Amino acid sequence: MLTRSLFSRQLFAAASRPAIAPKAVSSAFRPVLFYQNRFLSDATRQAIDKAVASAPVVLFMKGTPETPQCGFSRASIQVLGLQGVDPNKFAAFNVLEDAELRQGIKEYSDWPTIPQLYIDKEFVGGCDIIVSMHQNGELAKLLEEKDVLVKGEEGAAEEQTEKKE
Amino acid sequence: MADNQEPAITEDFLSAALKTRLNATHVEVTDMSGGCGASFTSLIVSPDFVGKNSLKRHRLVNAALKEEIARIHAWSAKCQTPDEYAKEKAATGGNDGPPMDGTNAQGKVEGVTE
């Protein structure tokens, strides 16, 4: 219970930082085809390549960090906030804004669900993996290694990862 | 449900599928459907997970349930080897089960509909 309330408080602090959504990149996603396309077109693949490379930490989610539209996206953004991911090194893409992206990212990552986390252009996983890596300390280690945390805000994440729910 | 071609996706159906397709020795599937479509969470224990990291385990499950996951709204899984399952059960006093992260206080998924 204590952990949960800590979760939400810190999350909102993190989420209210000036995040996210690089406009130039997301405009590449203005829908070409509305209907779901079984085969990832070159254009979509290139646009996703660009999105994945747009920041060291990239989350494809439903809704925005400020207003997630799904519990799994909410949990994932909470974890990233708790870990102290630097907003300047983070980008979020709202798949609900673009049908092409929404379908395309599933094929691109060979992963059937949203959210999806990329770190350094490498697919990390969805909500289950993000949460379990948060709990077992692997995520803190990875983010540290990749140097994507806010400076001087260590501690919060370390304390949290020791508490297993 | 109205579709006669395909079996309805239920806790039992998914459980049975995981046992046959993934050699799972223990499966718990929980329906967490809220207001936005069929949603399930699961604990899957299988020897096939031995020596694989979390991402590979999830990919195995996703592949085994490709059609089913495509037809439902949300899917969550915890993948353990028989050893890990036994250890966690012992450590938590039998309290090991499907992950409920992402659900609300009632254990249901809230979010946008398709």
Q: What is the pLDDT of residues A29-66, one digit of tens each?
A: 544 444 444 578 999 999 999 999 999 999 999 999 99
User: Tell me, what's the ipTM?
Assistant: 0.85
Shortest Cα–Cα distance, B110 to chain A (Å): 6
> In terms of CA atoms, which chain A residue is nearest residue B68?
A112
The pLDDT, as a whole number, for residue B103 is 83
Domain residue spans in chain B? Answer: 11-91
Task: Find which of A1, A35, A72, A123 to mutate to test the B interface (most B CBs within 10 Å of its CB).
Answer: A72
The two beta strands, A57-61 and A116-119, are antiparallel
pLDDT-wise least confident of A44-58, A90-104, B8-22, B33-47 = B33-47
Domain residue spans in chain A? Answer: 2-162
Which CATH code for domain B11-91? 3.30.300.90
The pLDDT, as a whole number, for residue B87 is 94
Smallest Cβ–Cβ distance between A128 and the set B36, B70, B77 belongs to: B77
Shortest Cα–Cα distance, A133 to chain B (Å): 9
Q: Which residues of B touch A96 (CB under 8 A)?
A: 112
| Buried b / exposed e along A81-112 (16+ C-beta atoms within 10 A) | bbbbbbbebbbbbbbbbbbbbbbbbbbbbebb
**Domain A2-162 fold:** Glutaredoxin (3.40.30)
- Averaged pLDDT, A136-155: 88
The pLDDT, as a whole number, for residue A77 is 97
| Residue A98 reports pLDDT greater than 50 | yes
Number of C-beta neighbours around residue B68 at 10 A: 19
| Residue A68 reports pLDDT greater than 90 | yes
Average confidence score pLDDT of chain A = 79
